Structure formats: C-alpha cells, structure tokens
Amino acid sequence: MSNRSSVFVVCLIGLIVSIPLYHFKSRSLRSIPFEEASVKPNPLTIDTSAYPTIESVLQRAESELKIMYGAKIVDSEKPLLVSLENNIWTVVGSSKDAGKGGVSEIKIDKITGKIIHISHVK
C-alpha cells in the first residue's frame, strides 16, 4: 500500500469513528436559547451602595429637605448642587439672591444611606 492510500484509509476511519461520537456528544449538551441564558453580573463591578447615582441621592435629598424646610424653600433653591467626597454625598441649594438668606445643605452616606448632616446655612 502506498503512502497516499494509507493516509486515505486513516482519514476514512477517523471520519467513520467521529460521526457517532459527534452525534452522541451533541445530544448530551442542552442548547439554551439566548433569551433564557442567565447572564450573571460580576459582583466586583456592581455598586451596591444605597445611593450609587446622582439622581438617586438627589431624589432622597430633595424629599428630606422638603420635609424639614418645606417645598417652597427647597424649590426656591433649585438647582440643587451635588458633590461626592470620601463616599459622602453633599447636596446644597443654590441662592439666587447673593447675601440674602441662606441655602439648605444635606450630607448623605453613599454606602449606608444614613443622613450625616442636615441644615439651612445663613
């Protein structure tokens, strides 16, 4: 038998053996449609803070300030200014009349959501 014939025979035997193995293996694997596949998020990239975004802390701060000082005062101090430093959100009202009256200020812990400080500065 020549080299060419022996290569042909080996390839043919490999093909014959691989077909039943492929069929058996494919039946044991369950195909999951894309919609059903559950993609689990990486726990290291999820922000589990009580107030992870500016929008969330702004909503909480505005509601707390309205309870404390009234909607009229809080609405007159809009837009509220938001900053984050050392995981502490600071929300401060903006004064339209410089030197006249004061502005509301609230500090909220980003991680726990606890109100650390609330005041109306003159």
Instruction: Extract the tokens encoding 83.
Output: 């900053």
Specify the pLDDT at position 37. Answer: 46
> Which residues have CB under 8 Å from 61's CB, separation 6+?
80, 82, 89, 91, 106, 108
Residue 41, in any domain of the structure: no
Q: Which domain holds residue 82?
A: 54-121
Structure tokens at 26: 């494919």
Q: How far is it, in rounded angstroms, from Cα 82 to Cα 64?
A: 15
Taken in order 15, 16, 19, 22, is the CA torsion positive or negative? negative
The verdict on residue 110 lying in a domain is: yes
Task: State the pLDDT confidence band at 121, using cuts at 50, 70 and 90.
Answer: confident
58-109 tens-digit pLDDT: 999 999 999 999 999 899 999 999 999 999 999 999 887 755 678 999 999 9
Q: What pLDDT score was predicted for residue 90? A: 95
Note whether residue 112 is domain-resident: yes
Domain count, the chain: 1
At residue 46, the pLDDT reads 66
Q: Give the Cα separation of 19 and 44 in Å (integer).
A: 43
Q: Taking a C-beta distance cutoff of 8 angstroms, is the pair 110, 50 a contact?
A: yes
Classify residue 81: in a domain, yes or no.
yes
Q: What is the pLDDT of residues 9-54, one digit of tens each?
A: 887 787 787 777 666 555 555 555 555 445 566 666 667 788 888 8
